[in-house]
Amino acid sequence: MENEFQLYSKLLTLPLFQGLGKADLGDVVAHTKFDFHKYEPEETIIDENENCNHLMFLLNGIAEVVTIAADHCYQIIEDISSPEILQPERLFGLIQNYTKTFKAKTTCRILKIDKSEVMRLSDKYMIFRINIMNMLSTMIQKQERQLLRKYPDNLESRIIRFISDRCLRPAGRKIINIKMTQLAKEINDSRLDVSKALNRMEEKGILKLKRGYIYIEKIETAMMQAKELTI
């Protein structure tokens, strides 16, 4: 069980608790039910379509996130590091189910707070309520801004953008399992042109190709490098 000092320190790293005074934070620690879990590498933390009835915080470790297309024609794998909240937008709204699978890549510590406790904290502490609204509003604004960005000038950039837009974070390692013909359909181009573009990027060290897989070490770097290529 977490001792009080450790719990104070961990809560202060989480955006929803930032701004709470020492007295309020002490009250939160004393009267809130916190549920801690430990996951070893390869263990599943959350399954896709699992009901979201808790806020789940990644306190320590690295988790692997798997995103599967609605028609299951491709999947994207990426890593997230602590501290992180796992799909908090799924706690409310029309569909209250997770849309991604989360697995422990290293030993992970997870903090779970029941939805009823989240509602109580939101009612009692204005700063907690404001933090939730800011977090959800920021997510919506970022998604809206994505739609208004300039369309990529070349095919290489369009491929990287397609992958990046379907990830939780537009940075870090990404692996996409997709057939060449499917990728061509997704970005509305020919299979031959997509194949040529991928091979050009592999020659430049932007990504690596294996049968059915595209490996990108740092997608933010890949996007910058792809912009410099010409068709």
| Domains of the chain with bracketed CATH | 4-147 (2.60.120.10), 155-227 (1.10.10.10)
Burial of 105 (0-12, 13-18, 19+ CB in 10 A): middle
One digit per residue, pLDDT tens: the chain, 231 residues? 445 567 777 787 888 998 888 888 888 888 889 999 999 999 999 999 999 999 999 999 999 999 999 999 999 999 999 889 999 999 998 999 999 999 999 999 999 999 999 999 999 999 999 999 999 999 999 888 888 888 888 999 999 999 999 998 889 999 999 999 999 999 999 999 999 999 999 999 999 999 899 999 999 999 989 888 764
Amino acid identity of residue 167, one-letter, is C
Would you state the pLDDT for residue 2?
Answer: 46
By C-alpha distance, which of 83, 85, 91, 136 is closest to 117?
A: 91
Question: What is d(CA 101, CA 168) in angstroms, rounded to the nearest whole number?
Answer: 12
The DSSP symbol for 215 reads: E
Element of type H or E holding 182: helix 180-186
Would you state the pLDDT for residue 1?
Answer: 46
Would you state the pLDDT for residue 106?
Answer: 97
Would you state the pLDDT for residue 132?
Answer: 94
Token pair listed for 176: 């996409």
Would you state the pLDDT for residue 151?
Answer: 83
Would you state the pLDDT for residue 146?
Answer: 83
Would you state the pLDDT for residue 228?
Answer: 82
The answer to whether 158 and 187 are in contact (CB under 8 A) is: yes
Would you state the pLDDT for residue 5?
Answer: 60
The answer to whether 76 and 167 are in contact (CB under 8 A) is: yes
Q: Cα–Cα distances in Å, from 216 out to 46, 80, 185? A: 24, 15, 21
